Structure 1
Amino acid sequence: MEQVYISTDRLSSQWCIDLVSDDGSGGLVMFIGNVRNQTKGKTVKYLDFEAYEPMAIKEMQKIADTAKDRWKLHKMVIHHRVGKVPIGEEAVIIACSSPHRKASFEACEYAIDTLKETVPIWKKEFFEDGEVWVSARP
């Protein structure tokens, strides 16, 4: 079972839940980043993600390892999709389990924020009248 994963296939939130479920966990938290149908008032048709996969996997693993150590997590998974992702589908799923909910919430937030800053995955938004590469940092 994969702790960090990049795929062109649709992501599964249930698979991520199954990967992090643990009888000793009182908290299981999941972040799902979906493709929305608009940005800045423009209609989005779909997103396309590209990654430098060897480095992306390495950086995602570093994020998971750091979070597991810092928040004493039982388990964490980070899954990201690449290629064309339609409206409403998952682009990224991060899930973790811990003895208490607060650690899982904080670790999940750390993971998505750090992923956007350090992992070499790029996003292009496609509109009716063109496309644009989007910065990961707000």
Structure 2
Amino acid sequence: MWILSNLMGTSEDGNLLSTVSPTVKALLGKTGVSPIFPFSPRSPFQPRIPRTPGSPWGPTGPASPLGPGFPMGPMGPGKPIGPKGPVLPLWPSWPGGPTSPLPPFCPGGPVCPWRPFSPMGPTKPFGPCFPGGPLEP
């Protein structure tokens, strides 16, 4: 503080702020803000966005129009989040659903190397490799 007081000087009434420029006064607390603590409640460095629960921007981000239990995603409000987190489907989805006679979708088609009983068989280069099988090193 010695360097700061020498830089600013003192006035006759002892008020350091009366002898400095308006910019320095604003930075040093004329407005009640400290440049040393930029995240203080009255800091000019804080964004001026409303933080009340009833505003469009709630305390943690955009509020959902359906209430606090419904998360807001890029496509609008989502499904409610239960006590165990987001609800996921119990069955994998494939054409026809879980009771369909069709097999689950495989990116490689009917000869997909990821299906254990592929028509490619164990001797094909991308066929399954079972423990003890002919392709196991």
More strand by share: 1
Name the structure where helix makes up a greater proportion of residues: 1
TM, length-normalised to structure 1: 0.21
Q: Whose Rg is larger?
A: 2
- Relative to the length of structure 2, the TM-score reads 0.21
